[in-house]
Structure 1
């Protein structure tokens, strides 16, 4: 891998480590410490994710216009300002305001990170995006593991740790990313001279992102309704945080095994996504009957295998479809779709649990995954007249 990609990987790891101190515990903090209902917690997380959607789209646009260096620094500075405020005021409603601003600032960062990864190692194909994805999950493993431990002493330390890690990320970006941006040499946003083909690519992207959205609506329940549910059945905060440590560690350690397992269909990302969706369904089927910690461990392991197939595949498809000069815009759509799932997921989950039950929620989520499979199976139809059905990766 190029040296510049390693800098992006390290920055992403530090960034996600900081945020992972907080995001797995948001619902628990809102519900148990601030005394809000699960539905209200879902609304708060929806505001955070909605701001991230706006940040993703703006961040992708800024990447195409200004380059990754300036875009990333802007996003980091906005986030640092909000985290500084959160350290001073984290009661109600200040917490909501600062969490929303954090969502916007961090949302600006992610499309540029992914677009830069694709630009510095174009020959790497899926490998470049998978490297960034693995870095994210090292951050998840470290941050979530330490977050549960730190929170058992005081939530104030959680806010401080997040702030300090973002300062480290700012320094890495400030001194490490300027040359990367210059090497990338991206043009401003321009339309291709073949508008019909352009529309077919965009249509294909929007279809696969529709499936991606449904997958995230289910996945985010582990950070919201399932997080609260584990507390109700006397699974400790440390144990819950340990689930995310398992998630991140498995993603890092199981890469060699995954590479061998997907060898037969590594050049067909659609098949990877569909298999991953089936595995997601199996995970929630196990979680629906879980009443002890070890069953949740099993469900998390299954969930992790599914995400290892799906999460890196979608930005890889976006990079393959993106016309020259619009890489940031296409990655912005992908990131905003994931964030959209994180936005509406906690609200849907909170309402379903408050009005019905956890079991009804699990049934609805499995239905969502069936719909995601159908959409995934047909996303590349708009490309058939112009391009091969499968997207080749290296």
Structure 2
């Protein structure tokens, strides 16, 4: 049934299945530790810091294993082990074990991200084809994200978080038969070869700031809206669904618009900054819906261009390790973002202009750094 599909559509479908299973639970993890398992905001912040450390280990080790064992093999291993961790968490259902098993699942999820980003870079060489491939892949991923949080929010509100652990552990296995149809690639360097260009290292600086702000689409938005504006988890799930639906229907079009226009990543970061600053002005669900649309517009510009830049700057022989480094920085950025907002909420939860002003500043600073970096980088523009 799937053998006649082209490789881009296979990647989109795999991303959709995987995202559907993951997005049922991921936006609610930090919130569940806070509300269901009784963690304080400080301990939730600590959890995200530990997760950042786990992400570092997973990204580096995942990059090495992706080069050594092959991209496809590591994708399958990471999915199976993620499923096992969530299933055990469902069975045990005690605060500390659940938190630890979520961290284990996070480890394998990071390896999955390294492997899938690397295999796209192997399959599509030019920056033009990479933008198209990553845009199409995001259509699939966000088709899953459009439905997952909506169902997750309903199940969480109605039946509780524990059932989400079981559902997620089963759903993320669906994509394995399709993954087996992908070609296999391996790195060509030794295990200890970590050669990285100066340009790649510089690129990682604004990348980190980018993913600090991207990381707010989860714990930060969920906790703020439920605490300050009394939105239900289901209503926030609808906001996440708006994000996913917009990307499903508009990402391909956006991919054609931004193709060969790498410098638009700076504009995307400005829009990100404005979108998160706008949260401070939201007073009802309708305004929240408009604001999430602005944030999604930024995401549709920034994410495929960031992935394209990472793969264009990486070499074939050590692509797995370099994308592992990129994944490490993006993962730490997301987690630092969640940890930062958790800590800021201890002091500024009821002062939204300060709270979201701090967060939005990461977008504006990142936009400036991308602009300076890309002015000096001519080879892939």
TM-score norm. by structure 1 comes to: 0.87
Q: How does 1:253-292 map to 2 (within 5 A)?
A: 253-259=249-255, 261-262=257-258, 266-269=259-262, 271-292=263-284
Gaps of 5+ in 1: none
Q: Does the CA-based 8 Å contact 2:69-2:186 persist in structure 1?
A: no
Q: Deviations over 1:287-308 (max 9, x none)?
A: 1111211111111100000011
Structure 1's 189 and 252: CA in aligned 2 closer, same or farther, altered over 3 A?
farther
Question: Who is 2:18 aligned against?
Answer: 15
Partner Cα separation in structure 1 for residue 105 and residue 51 of structure 2? 7
Q: Does 1:118 align with 2:121?
A: yes
Q: Deviations over 1:266-321 (max 9, x none)?
A: 3231x211000110111012111112111111111000000111111112112111
Question: Who is 1:301 aligned against?
Answer: 293
Q: Does 1:27 align with 2:30?
A: yes
For residue 296 of structure 1, give the secondary structure of its aligned residue in structure 2: helix
Q: Does the CA-based 8 Å contact 2:136-2:252 persist in structure 1?
A: no
Partner Cα separation in structure 2 for residue 122 and residue 93 of structure 1? 44
Deviation at 1:133, TM superposition (A): 2.2
Structure 1's 256 and 22: CA in aligned 2 closer, same or farther, altered over 3 A?
closer
Structure 1's 65 and 110: CA in aligned 2 closer, same or farther, altered over 3 A?
same
Q: How does 1:94-109 map to 2 (within 5 A)?
A: 94-109=97-112
Question: Who is 1:139 aligned against?
Answer: 144
Q: Does 1:188 align with 2:185?
A: no
Partner Cα separation in structure 1 for residue 141 and residue 252 of structure 2? 17
Partner Cα separation in structure 1 for residue 139 and residue 320 of structure 2? 21
Gaps of 5+ in 2: none
Q: Does the CA-based 8 Å contact 1:284-1:362 persist in structure 2?
A: yes
For residue 47 of structure 1, give the secondary structure of its aligned residue in structure 2: helix
Partner Cα separation in structure 2 for residue 298 and residue 337 of structure 1? 30
- Aligned pair partner of 1:152 in 147, 154, 157: 157
Partner Cα separation in structure 1 for residue 313 and residue 155 of structure 2? 43
Deviation at 1:49, TM superposition (A): 4.0
Deviation at 1:259, TM superposition (A): 4.4
Q: Does the CA-based 8 Å contact 1:207-1:376 persist in structure 2?
A: no
For residue 221 of structure 1, give the secondary structure of its aligned residue in structure 2: coil
Structure 1's 257 and 9: CA in aligned 2 closer, same or farther, altered over 3 A?
closer
Q: Does 1:372 align with 2:366?
A: yes
Q: Does the CA-based 8 Å contact 1:129-1:316 persist in structure 2?
A: yes
Structure 1's 69 and 349: CA in aligned 2 closer, same or farther, altered over 3 A?
same
For residue 174 of structure 2, give the secondary structure of its aligned residue in structure 1: helix
Q: Does 1:391 align with 2:346?
A: no
Structure 1's 189 and 317: CA in aligned 2 closer, same or farther, altered over 3 A?
farther
Q: Does 1:169 align with 2:175?
A: yes
TM-score norm. by structure 2 comes to: 0.90
Deviation at 1:373, TM superposition (A): 1.8
Between 1:94-103 and 1:360-369, the stretch displaced more is 360-369
Question: Who is 1:226 aligned against?
Answer: 221
Q: How does 1:299-338 map to 2 (within 5 A)?
A: 299-338=291-330
Q: Does the CA-based 8 Å contact 2:279-2:288 persist in structure 1?
A: yes
Q: Does the CA-based 8 Å contact 1:27-1:228 persist in structure 2?
A: no
- Aligned pair partner of 1:210 in 198, 205, 209: 205
RMSD: 2.4
